[in-house]
Amino acid sequence: MGEPQVASLVAVVLVSVATIAVGAFGLRMSRTTSDFYVASRAVSPRWNASAIGGEYLSAASFLGVAGLVLVAGTDMLWFPVGYTAGYLVLLVLVAAPLRRSGAYTLPDFAEGRLESREVRRAASVLVVGIGWLYLVPQLQGAGIALSAVTGAPLWMGAALVAIVVVLNVVAGGMRSITFVQAFQYWLKLTAIAVPMFFILLVWRGDGAPSPATAEWIRPLGGASGRDHPLYSTYSIVLALFFGTMGLPHVLVRFYTNPDGRAARRTTLVVIALLGAFYLFPPMYGALGRIYAPDLVVTGRADTVVLLLPQRVIPGIGGDLLSALTTAGAFAAFLSTSSGLVMSVSGVLHQDLLSRWQRGGGRSSWRRRPESLRGFRTATALSVLVPFTLSLFAGSLSLADTVGLAFAVAASTFCPLLVLGIWWRGLTRVGALTGLAVGGGLASIAVLVTMIGGTRAGWSGALLAQPAAWTVPLAFAVMVGVSLATPRTVPPHVARTMVRLHAPESVDVDRSSR
């Protein structure tokens, strides 16, 4: 094994050990159910924003965006824009009311708002499905990264991430991974920014051609552009803007804020943190067109962030900078996977592996599990299924695979949250029908694309980017069916709406009389 491989392997080991060590610190503070699921709702906005940035900046953000820009040019800049702007939509429509709901998970919110066990079960299935779909590219990316820098088999990187994530989540739950994810955001920002600083110095000094030309706009290396690019662009934008509010691992973090005001402040800080990070991946893709165009031909475009420092800066300096980007990549895999596993494990444990008892009052969304005995089993299952799927993953890029998860989230939880929070006329039947139609059609499109790859013509464009038609359809079905079934409006909707929109100091029971 050469020096570059040794340095990168050491970086991976150090990140894994640091992740476990930081998680162990959080273990000392995790003693209750509330600690495990929502960190006792006591996380400050700045700390929570760093943790959200840590778990949100996934394999698609750290590696996939640069790979897409390397292959397809400026058309792919919509991905970082969409990833960031999705939080603006979340801030305006969802953040504060969702925190005021008092729920532990999205299924808790769905049952509390619609007062229906059937809606809860549907939401639980969607949380698990979206979580597993999002986990696959994280594990796949870990395999690609470790293989690119050390030559290890693809399964080894995925196994390493899976083991570290399980250890962290079962150790301390949400309290533990909050510390881990906040630490990993700043590690990722450092790992992607510092090497780019040195790369830019070399690029400015060696007289290399500028990437800001027509060659940067067009697909590289003979790669054909996507069919119907205008439709695909609008569909990507819609999926990213509205899919963010439907990602279970993102939403669960807002339950950890002390109140709705803190949730809004958290979102504002998140937008600033994401904006700072997303300045850098497009730079790697653009400069990769000068220094590493062969990665497109060999099908390794997703590795440009890892390999570019070595290409631009020969010797030990480039090796160390590549090791730093490798450390950042593994931080991305670990932090995002931790948040996803926490979300999926919580739903599996609460809805499938635990016996539930109802709290006081007429609303059931303050349920608590009798014990946390099934949590470790749920965590293992949450990792095992996507790990197995990652071994058989297709040829889609990391960003494309993550984009499909956004499309499913935008077609299901986005209409449920927006209508559930802002329209008291949403009915149980309407919500169930909309979730079934939006989730079913988006899932079919995702499965066809992942198994069979992208196709030519309109059929291929509609299946590869389904959000442009599945999201409006899901909204239309929820509204239409709700208007046709007014008798299934939840009986206590007035009290629920007061809880969602009034300050926490308001007496909900008195205000809803």
If you count them, how many residues does the chain have?
513
Which of the 8 DSSP states describes residue 178?
H
Task: Place 209 in a pLDDT band, splitting at 50, 70 and 90.
Answer: low
404 domain-assigned:
yes
Q: How far is the C-alpha of 124 from the C-alpha of 117, rounded, in Å?
A: 10
Partners of 356 in the beta sheet?
A: 369
Smallest CA-to-CA distance from 248 within 96, 406, 392 is with: 406
63 domain-assigned:
yes
Q: How far is the C-alpha of 467 from the C-alpha of 352, rounded, in Å?
A: 30
- pLDDT digit string, tens, across residues 290-312: 888 888 888 888 889 999 999 89
Q: How far is the C-alpha of 47 from the C-alpha of 22, rounded, in Å?
A: 14
Q: Which two tokens stand for residue 304?
A: 């440009």
Q: What are phi and psi of 212, to 5 degrees?
A: -80, 60
The whole-number pLDDT of residue 367 equals 43
The whole-number pLDDT of residue 222 equals 44
66 domain-assigned:
yes
The whole-number pLDDT of residue 265 equals 82
pLDDT at 228 over 50: yes
The whole-number pLDDT of residue 224 equals 43
In the chain, what percentage of residues exceed pLDDT 70?
Answer: 80
pLDDT at 261 over 60: yes
Q: How far is the C-alpha of 398 from the C-alpha of 453, rounded, in Å?
A: 13
The whole-number pLDDT of residue 508 equals 54
Cα torsion through 265, 268, 273, 277, rounded to 10: 160
- 3-state class of 369 per DSSP? strand
Most confidently modeled range among 54-58, 108-112, 266-270, 375-379: 108-112
Higher-pLDDT residue of 113 and 398 is 113
Q: How far is the C-alpha of 331 from the C-alpha of 59, rounded, in Å?
A: 9
363 domain-assigned:
no
246 domain-assigned:
yes
Task: Place 404 in a pLDDT band, splitting at 50, 70 and 90.
Answer: confident
The whole-number pLDDT of residue 425 equals 94
With 0-12 / 13-18 / 19 or more C-beta atoms within 10 angstroms meaning exposed / middle / buried, residue 421 is: buried
Q: Tell me which residue range forms the domain holding 457.
A: 3-355+382-506
Smallest CA-to-CA distance from 335 within 164, 221, 98, 451 is with: 164
Q: Chain-wide mean pLDDT for the chain?
A: 80
53 domain-assigned:
yes
Q: How far is the C-alpha of 233 from the C-alpha of 493, rounded, in Å?
A: 38
Check: pTM over 0.75? Answer yes or no. yes
pLDDT at 366 over 50: no
- pLDDT digit string, tens, across residues 171-191: 655 666 777 788 889 999 999
Q: How far is the C-alpha of 117 from the C-alpha of 431, rounded, in Å?
A: 12
pLDDT at 357 over 50: no
Cα torsion through 80, 86, 87, 89, rounded to 10: 150
Mean pLDDT, rounded, for 61-79: 85
8 Å CB contact between 395 and 140: no
Q: How far is the C-alpha of 82 from the C-alpha of 239, rounded, in Å?
A: 8
- 3-state class of 356 per DSSP? strand
- Range of weakest confidence among 126-140, 215-229, 244-258: 215-229
pLDDT at 416 over 80: yes
8 Å CB contact between 306 and 326: yes
CATH number, domain with residue 398 = 1.20.1730.10
pLDDT at 490 over 70: yes
377 domain-assigned:
no
Task: Place 422 in a pLDDT band, splitting at 50, 70 and 90.
Answer: very high
Count of domains in the chain?
1
368 domain-assigned:
no
Higher-pLDDT residue of 491 and 4 is 491
348 CA to centre of own chain: 18
Three-point CA angle 467, 401, 12, nearest 5°: 145
* C-beta neighbour count of 149 within 10 angstroms: 27
Scan for tokens 């909050």, then name that residue.
178
- pLDDT digit string, tens, across residues 117-144: 999 999 999 989 898 888 888 888 888 8
